[in-house]
């Protein structure tokens, strides 16, 4: 069980650190390993934020997922990268240097990496080239995906290498199928890919059933791949139902996702994209504050750090599967059960 974590909270907030240690055995640095944080300019690597998270994790016997080494979206690329003029050979060397420098720095400390993130287009212009436009696509073409995995394997042959993507609320739907075909083609070429990260950003109206998600996980397992649910959260805001109803529906979606993950041995991890509504996804929180709209409540614990129905639902599935959740959540769930009896 994992969660995304924020550098500033890990460094400055004792309550935040204590809750991560109590509830989780895996962390994903939310932003600290992305190009924008690591690469202030072409010649420089700045590891101080990611180092702080990795050192915290190691000191508390917590595993680290690396996120991410190559993201083709221009809006998430450093300005210096987009402003530069590069030949294909220079771009190829830039990608290789970044991946191998970062992975060498964390060799033996980060057990798996999202090597390529969100490469597949939601609505591709060309069915034969279903990848997003972006810096790497423009400079290297579709080959950049394969190159990234090969560079990563050269840098750390022991690390598990994942492809990670979103908008899988409709397993076996058009984008889901494009992701599957991309991964299948990589395997067929002998590209060193070990797993697939299904981001699992859902809302109350668009979430898969446990059975549908299970089927999607199983087809990746049939390729010999591991699966992680990498960015699980469930949006409530914008839905007119009463809050209590929304919280119960949210709990059902978290429960279904946990059941699907536990249904197939190839699925080895569930990572929520944060854990408490107090520290959710930053730009959604800022937008709510500025507009005076409903505050995001997407995560298993509320703003007071108390477990929501979603946390109890996940704990119940783990108990039933005889995979005990951390003690505090179990005790809270048992207390709730006792009180209801």
Q: Which of the following is catalytic: 30, 49, 118, 146? A: 118
Six-digit token string for 262: 């536990």
Q: How far apart are CA 5 and CA 31, in angstroms?
A: 8
30 tagged catalytic:
no
Average pLDDT over residues 202-211: 91
**For residue 185, what pLDDT is reported?**
97
Question: What pLDDT sits at residue 35?
Answer: 97
Q: What is the pLDDT of residue 127?
A: 76
* CA–CA gap between residue 160 and residue 120 (Å, rounded): 21
* Position 57 pLDDT exceeds 70: yes
Compute how many other C-beta atoms are within 10 angstroms of the C-beta atom of residue 288: 15
Can 49 be counted among the known catalytic residues? no
pLDDT given for residue 259 in this prediction: 96
Q: Are 264 and 218 in contact (CB under 8 A)?
A: yes
Q: Using one digit for the tens of pLDDT, what is the confidence trace for 231-254?
A: 999 999 889 999 999 999 999 999
**Mean pLDDT value across residues 295-316:** 95
How many CB atoms within 10 Å of residue 71? 23
Lowest mean pLDDT among 111-125, 167-181, 196-210: 167-181
CA 37 from chain center: how many Å? 17
Whether 333 shows a pLDDT value over 50: the answer reads no
Crossing angle of helices 243-262 and 309-320, in 10° steps, is 30
DSSP conformation letters of 204-268: TTB---HHHHHHHHHHHHTTT-EEEEEEEEEE-TT--S-HHHHHHHHHHHHHHHHHHHHTSTTEE
Closest to 255 measured CA to CA, from 301, 311, 184, 212: 311
Q: Is the pLDDT of residue 305 over 60?
A: yes
102-116, 177-191, 231-245, 279-293: which range is least confident on average?
A: 279-293
Q: Return the minimum-mean-pLDDT range out of 98-107, 180-189, 318-327.
A: 318-327
Residue 284 tokens read as: 């959604």
Confidence check: pLDDT of 335 > 50: no
Active-site pick, 231, 237, 268, 294: 231
pLDDT reading at 300 higher than 80: yes
* Residue 122, token pair as written in the block: 């939601």
Q: Retrieve residue 211's tokens.
A: 């059975």
pLDDT at 289: 66
Beta bridge partners of 64: 27
Q: What is the dihedral of CA 117, 123, 127, 128, to 10 degrees?
A: -30
pLDDT value of residue 331? 40
- Is beta strand 112-117 parallel, antiparallel or unpaired with respect to 63-71? parallel
- Whether the model pTM is above 0.85: yes
Q: When comparing pLDDT for 123 and 2, which is higher?
A: 2
Reply yes or no on domain 2-340 having CATH 3.20.20.80. Answer: yes
Provide the 8-state DSSP code for 126: B
Q: Is 115 exposed, middle or buried (0-12, 13-18, 19+ CB in 10 A)?
A: buried
Residue 44 DSSP class: B
Checking if the pLDDT of 278 tops 60, the result is yes
Confidence of residue 292 (pLDDT cuts 50, 70, 90): low
Question: Tens digit of pLDDT for each residue in 5-45?
Answer: 999 999 999 999 999 999 999 999 999 999 999 999 999 99
The rounded mean pLDDT for the chain is 91
Provide the pLDDT confidence category of residue 338 given band limits of 50, 70 and 90: very low
Percentage of the residues of the chain whose pLDDT score is greater than 70: 89
| pLDDT score, position 124 | 87
Dig out the tokens for 334 from the structure. 């048992």
pLDDT at 129 (0 to 100): 82
Domain ranges in the chain are: 2-340
Whether residue 81 is predicted with pLDDT greater than 90 in this model: the reply is yes
The reply to whether omega before 68 is within 30° of 0 (cis) is yes
Whether the per-residue pLDDT at 286 is higher than 70: the answer is no
In residues, how long is the chain?
341
């Amino acid at each position: 069980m994992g969660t995304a974590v924020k550098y500033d909270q890990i460094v400055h907030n004792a309550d935040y650190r204590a809750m991560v240690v109590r509830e989780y055995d895996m962390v994903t640095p939310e932003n600290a390993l992305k190009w924008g944080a690591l690469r202030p300019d072409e010649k420089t690597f700045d590891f101080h934020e990611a180092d702080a998270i990795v050192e915290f994790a190691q000191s508390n016997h917590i595993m680290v997922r690396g996120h991410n080494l190559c993201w083709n979206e221009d809006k998430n690329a450093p300005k210096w990268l987009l402003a530069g003029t590069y030949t294909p050979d220079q771009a190829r060397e830039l990608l290789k240097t970044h991946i191998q420098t970062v992975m060498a720095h964390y060799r033996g400390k980060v057990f798996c990496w999202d090597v390529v993130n969100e490469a597949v287009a939601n609505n591709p212009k060309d069915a034969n080239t279903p990848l997003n436009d972006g810096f790497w696509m423009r400079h290297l073409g579709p080959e950049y995906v394969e190159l990234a995995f090969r560079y990563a394997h050269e840098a750390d042959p022991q690390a598990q290498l994942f492809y990670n993507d979103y908008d899988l609320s409709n397993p076996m739907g058009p984008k889901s199928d494009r992701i599957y075909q991309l991964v299948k083609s990589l395997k067929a070429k002998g590209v060193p890919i070990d797993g697939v990260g299904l981001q699992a950003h859902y809302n109350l109206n668009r979430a898969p059933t446990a059975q549908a998600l299970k089927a999607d996980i199983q087809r990746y397992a049939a390729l010999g791949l591991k699966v992680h649910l990498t960015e699980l959260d469930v949006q409530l805001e914008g839905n007119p139902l009463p809050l209590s109803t929304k919280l119960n529906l949210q709990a059902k979606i978290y429960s279904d996702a946990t059941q699907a993950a536990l249904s197939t041995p190839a699925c080895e991890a569930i990572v929520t994209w944060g854990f408490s509504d107090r520290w959710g996804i930053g730009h959604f929180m800022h937008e709510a504050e500025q507009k005076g709209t409903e505050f995001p409540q997407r995560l298993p614990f509320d703003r007071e750090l108390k477990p929501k129905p979603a946390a109890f639902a996940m704990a119940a599935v783990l108990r039933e599967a005889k995979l005990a959740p951390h003690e505090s959540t179990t005790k809270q769930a048992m207390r709730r059960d006792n009180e209801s009896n």
